[in-house]
Amino acid sequence: MDFGQSHDDHGNSPAEQDGGQAGERHGDDQARNGAGRYERDPGTVERDAKALALRVQARSYTEIAAELGYADRSGAHKAVSRALQETLEEPAAAVRTLELERLDATLERLNGLEEAAHAVLAAKHVTVSNGKVVQLDGEPLPDDGPMLQALDRLLRVEEMRLRVAERRAKLLGLDAEKKVALSGGVKYEVVGVDVADLA
């Protein structure tokens, strides 16, 4: 089937073959937008989605190539792979957004706890026993308990803020990769914190 433009042996159109020209193309199906970021070409996205839909219907890559105008099955295979990748990335992006919103809510709660702790530190506290203020040399005996508890809460708030910051960095991909030597190869891992620990 002819879609009005030629393709190379891998099913790419002429616009998709100039990946090395002036840095305007990236890979088989991306181009720079006005902000200098890579974006998927809408036409390629739609075509990839059709290829995936046909593959779901148990059509062979050769049949998909013939129906959508790819030069051979390799081009059809690449299209299906790209569509599958997007299918996985979109839900992941939604989950990441929800996690970031939860972390923002956690920060708001921490701010409230911090304000309450500072209010306790600013107040005067006296020792009370059996409903009466304990006197020492005619003066109310200070009670350091609430202040110590407030200081402990402030320390915990700061610890939680650090953990939230680490989690945000992990979600946004800001953490550097960490190499861990293993028998038979090298494993990469990113250091972060489980959101469940923040509840």
DSSP letters spanning 95-133: HHHHHHHHHHHHHHHHHHHHHHHHHHHHS--B-EETTEE
The contacts of residue 189 (CB under 8 Å, 6+ apart) are: 177, 178, 180
Q: Say what the pLDDT of residue 85 is.
A: 85
pLDDT attached to residue 34: 52
62 in the same domain as 120: no
Q: Are residue 108 and residue 177 in the same domain, yes or no? A: yes
Residues 64 and 103 in one domain: no
* One domain for residues 110 and 163: yes
d(CA 83, CA 185): 31
Q: 10-residue block means of pLDDT along the chain (199 residues)?
A: 43 42 43 52 87 89 94 93 83 82 92 93 89 86 90 94 91 62 46 44
| Domains in the chain, number | 2
Q: Looking at the domain assignment, is residue 199 inside a domain?
A: no
Look at residue 63 and give its three-state secondary structure: helix
Task: Pick the closest to residue 167 from 106, 93, 82, 87 (CA basis).
Answer: 106
Distance CA 125, CA 104 (A): 33
- My answer on whether 116 and 164 are in the same domain is yes
pTM over 0.85: no
pLDDT score recorded for residue 192: 46
**Parent domain of 181:** 98-193
Whether 84 and 130 share a structural domain: no
What is the secondary structure of 132-165 as a DSSP string? Answer: EEPEETTEEPB--HHHHHHHHHHHHHHHHHHHHH
Give the per-residue pLDDT at 40: 65
- Check residue 89 and give its pLDDT: 77
Q: How many CB atoms lie within 10 A of CB 25?
A: 19
Q: Which residue, 38, 68, 89, sits at the end of a domain? A: 89
Which residues are CB-neighbours of 73 under 8 A, at least 6 positions away? 60, 61, 62, 64, 65
